[in-house]
Structures are given as C-alpha cells and as structure tokens.
Structure 1
Amino acid sequence: MDALLTSTFSVAIAEIGDKTQLLTLLLAIRFSNKSAIISAILLATLINHFIAAYMGQWAIGWLDPQWSRYIVAVSFFAIALWVLIPDKIDDDDHRFYKLGAFGATFILFFIAEIGDKTQIATVVLAAKYQSLTWVVIGTTLGMLIANVPVILAGHFSANKLPMAFIHRGCALIFALLGVATLMW
C-alpha cells in the first residue's frame, strides 16, 4: 500500500507545472474530445511507466542491496533538485494533430514523458518498493490526478497556481523519500 500511495502522491505533485502537463493544456485547448485525451494519457502513461518501473526493478536486481539503497536515496535527492527547475514545453509538433485527439495525445504524451521527471521518479520508486504493479498503478493515477483537471478546466486555472510553492513542496517530498530510504 505504501508503494501505491507514495507513487500516486509524489507523481501527482511532481507533474504540476511539468512539460507533460503543459502539453496536456495545449492538447485540451486544441481538441474538444476530452475523453480521447484522457484515454490517450492513460494508455501512454501505463505503457511508459510500466517500462520505466520494469527498468528500475531490473537495474536494482543487479546491485548489492546496500549499494542499491544509496543509489535510490541519491536518485530521490537528485529528483528533489530537478523539480525545482520549472519546465517549458518543447517545440509544439503540429504534424501529429492530424491523427486526432487520441492519436496526437498518445504519441506526443508518450514522447514527452521519455526522460521526464515523473518517468525517472517511476524508475526510482519501482527500485525502492520492488512492486512493479503498485508503482505503475500509483504513478499512472498521479499523472491522471494532475492532468485530468487541466483537460477539464483548460486554461482557466493554469496561471493561478502557486508554482514556486508547489515545486518546493514536491522537492521536499522527494528529499524526505531520500532520507527515509537511507534510514530504512
């Protein structure tokens, strides 16, 4: 249960202001089919985070347990620092728009998530908890918790969030996960 709750909460917070959330906003403005956007984000996240979690568990299986604990802790500290750097959306690729709401969202979201903070967090969370299923479910729920309101509300509330406060809070959460990893 810890894997599910920690994965959900940490990814939901980390996703706020992330480039994939900004992409979600652009897609929600571009396409009117909100259910297609949500479905595509769900599928893209499940596939992407399953691969990431699998890689995290595979990599941690090759390391001595003592070393793996330190690597996971350092990774949490690195993510804590990384979330303090606000994301900007990369070049908005209009060529995928002709694929419709589902196709464009699936491809653009999957690509944007590669190497993203939340994907790296998924690798680290899977390495820490050794629970691929609960980590993938949790990180996917976290992505949906952060992105579905953006899809439904659109640009009406995007500029009203206290981004600096959210980024600092998220950094604190990942730093605490690093400390907890070292202590237990």
Structure 2
Amino acid sequence: MQAFLVSTGIVALAEMGDKTQLLSLVLAARFRRPWPIVAGIFVATIVNHALAGALGAWVTTALGPDVLRWVLGLSFIAMALWMLVPDKLDEGDADAKPRFGVFGATVIAFFLAEMGDKTQVATVMLAARFDSWAPVVMGTTLGMMLANAPVVWFGDRIVRKVPIRVVHAIGAAVFLVLGVLALLPALSSPQ
C-alpha cells in the first residue's frame, strides 16, 4: 500500500505544470471531447508506466543492494533538481494526426510526450525503490490521472489557480527526502 500511495502522490505533484499536463490542455482545447481524451491519457499512461515499472523492477535484480541504494539515492536527488526546472510543451507534441480520431491522437501524442519525462523516470525509480511493480504502476497512473483529467474538463481555470512553483517545490522536497533516506544507510555505515 505504501508503494501505491507514495507513487500516486509523487507523480501527481511531479505532473503539475509538466509538459504532458500542458499537452492535456492543448488536446482539450483542440478537440473539445473530454471522454476520449481522458481515455487516451489513461491508455498511454498505463502502457508507458508499465514499461517504466518493468525497467525499474529489472534494475533491482541487475544491481546489488549497495549499488542500487546509491543509484536510487542520487537519482531521487537529481529528480528533485529536475522538478525545479519548468516544463514547456515541445513543438509538435499535440500534432498527432487526427486520422486516428481523438482517442488515437491522444494516445500517440501522450505516449510520445511521456517518453523520458519526469514522471516516467520517477516510475522507474519508484519501481526499483519499492521492488513492487504493480502497486507503483497503479499509483503513478492514478497520479497522472489526478493531475491531467481535471485539466481536460476544466482547462486553464485550474492551471491559473494552482501555484505551479509551490507544487514543484513541494515535489522537489519530497524527492530530496527520498534521496537522502535512500543514502542514509550507506552514509552512516562504516566502509
């Protein structure tokens, strides 16, 4: 349960102001059909995060516990710094071909935009940290939906009211704490 709850909270915070959240806003403005857009976001997120979670689970088997602790600790600290860098929507992220329909365009655009994104990297790290693939993927997917679905329905009314810098600072603090907690055993034990 801890893996699910931590994953949900971290990804929901990390997603605020992220380029995929901006993409959700663009898709909603472009297509004005919230249900297929939300369904497309859900499918793209499940597939993307399932792959990321599988990579994170594999990392736990490939690295020894000491190396894994350092990789995770430093990765969480790097993620804290990355959280402080604002995202911008890349050109072409919303330009998926409409011939696939609203749902297909959303799946393709969202999946591609999520590749290498903060939340995908966070999913890899969380799956490795908790060594628990399914709860992490379910949690990160819920976090993505909590951050993106309201944007599709309520648009920039929400985006204008949410203090993105504060949310990013809180997310960065959470990642920093996780990084320090992961490194504490390695730093406190005599070599």
TM-score by length of structure 1 reads 0.96
Question: Structure 1 stretches of 5 or more lacking a match?
Answer: none
Matched, 1:124 2:125: yes
- Quote how far apart the aligned CAs of 1:95 are: 4.6
2:62 alignment partner in structure 1: 62
2:83 alignment partner in structure 1: 83
2:144 alignment partner in structure 1: 143
Cα distance in structure 2, aligned partners of 1:59 and 1:131: 12
1:179 alignment partner in structure 2: 180
Question: Could you report, residue by residue, the CA deviation over 1:33-76 in whole angstroms, capped at 9, with x for unpaired residues?
Answer: 21111111111100000100101111221111111011111110
Q: Please identify the structure whose Cα radius of gyration is greater.
A: 2
Kept in 2, the 8 Å contact 1:96–1:108? The answer is no
How many residue pairs are counted as aligned between the two chains? 184
1:11 alignment partner in structure 2: 11
2:166 alignment partner in structure 1: 165
Question: Structure 2 stretches of 5 or more lacking a match?
Answer: 186-191
Q: 2:107 aligns to what SS in structure 1? A: helix
TM-score by length of structure 2 reads 0.92
Cα distance in structure 1, aligned partners of 2:3 and 2:47: 18
- Quote how far apart the aligned CAs of 1:128 are: 0.3
Amino acid at match of 2:34: K
Question: Could you report, residue by residue, the CA deviation over 1:72-98 in whole angstroms, capped at 9, with x for unpaired residues?
Answer: 111100100001000000013435233
1:112 alignment partner in structure 2: 113
Q: Please, which moves more after superposition, 160-169 or 82-91?
A: 160-169
Cα distance in structure 1, aligned partners of 2:165 and 2:11: 17
- Quote how far apart the aligned CAs of 1:30 are: 1.1
Kept in 2, the 8 Å contact 1:41–1:105? The answer is yes
Q: 1:56 aligns to what SS in structure 2? A: helix
1:94 alignment partner in structure 2: 95
**Aligned residues with identical type, % of pairs:** 48
- Quote how far apart the aligned CAs of 1:12 are: 0.2
2:37 alignment partner in structure 1: 37
Give runs of ≥4 in structure 1 deviating > 4 Å: none
